[in-house]
Amino acid sequence: MRDLDNSPGGQETADIPPSTDLAGMRADYGGAPFGSGEDVDLDETWLAGGWEPLLRHWIEQATAVGVAEPNAMVLATVSLADGTPRPVARTVLCKGLSPEGVTFYTNYDSAKGGQLAAVPFAAVTFVWPALGRQVHVRGAIERVAAETTAVYWRSRPRDSQLGAWASHQSKPIGSRAEMDRLMAETVARFDTVDEIPVPPHWGGFLLRPDEVEFWQGRRGRLHNRIRVLIDKDEMTVQRLQP
């Protein structure tokens, strides 16, 4: 039998049971989310103070129950590489949350950086299956101020700073060995530098939402969905059918 070195975990694809019933896989939500101590239906009144306090509270609860990377979010952008709009999604980390919006950081020359420059709109989704919750945030994108990026940059581990300099994010490379060589050269370059500067091609994006949807799983697929529409200083709260 072939040894598939590139298969997940070094295992052969033949190890996956052919009888796995993907169509039959489902979770029936309801009751108190694991570790949350709550068994209350999501209600429009929860948004009385705005969307940001509730999102922050849900991230804090996900942190409290031990969810891995509770600030992880799926970022969707639009690619125009071949002239046809195509959605592109990947997971990034939320590194800032305020009434203004959601902040994340990346290489501006990366695929997502180029896509956001061409089409400055995006959507992010936070997912916490253990809590039976999701939050979708959609709206316009803008770069954060260089001063904001600098403050966050100083909080990053040195290895992460070096990685941002070494990697030409999203560009092809011949091998892992070549990537390791670039990293080694970068380490040597900054060996005598105490405070590594922010790369000119690296920084933050702020997603200013015009729509935020809170999702809470319930039995029989009758989930709770509350949508917040934001128009300048006005906020409209709506319940959506599941």
Q: Rounded CA gap, 182 and 207, in Å?
A: 32
56 is catalytic: no
Q: What residues are paired with 124 via a beta bridge?
A: 75, 137
Q: How many CA atoms lie within 13 A of 99 on its CB side?
A: 7
CA distances from 133 to 54, 58, 153, 218 (A): 12, 8, 30, 10
Complete DSSP assignment for 109-145 = TSHHHHHHHHS-EEEEEEEEGGGTEEEEEEEEEEEPP
Alpha helices in the chain (DSSP H): 51-64, 111-118, 146-155, 158-166, 176-189
Exactly one of 221, 225, 227, 239 is catalytic; which is it? 221
**Packing angle between helix 158-166 and helix 176-189, nearest 10 degrees?**
120
Q: Rounded CA gap, 64 and 61, in Å?
A: 5
Query: Any idea which residues carry the catalytic annotation?
Result: 221
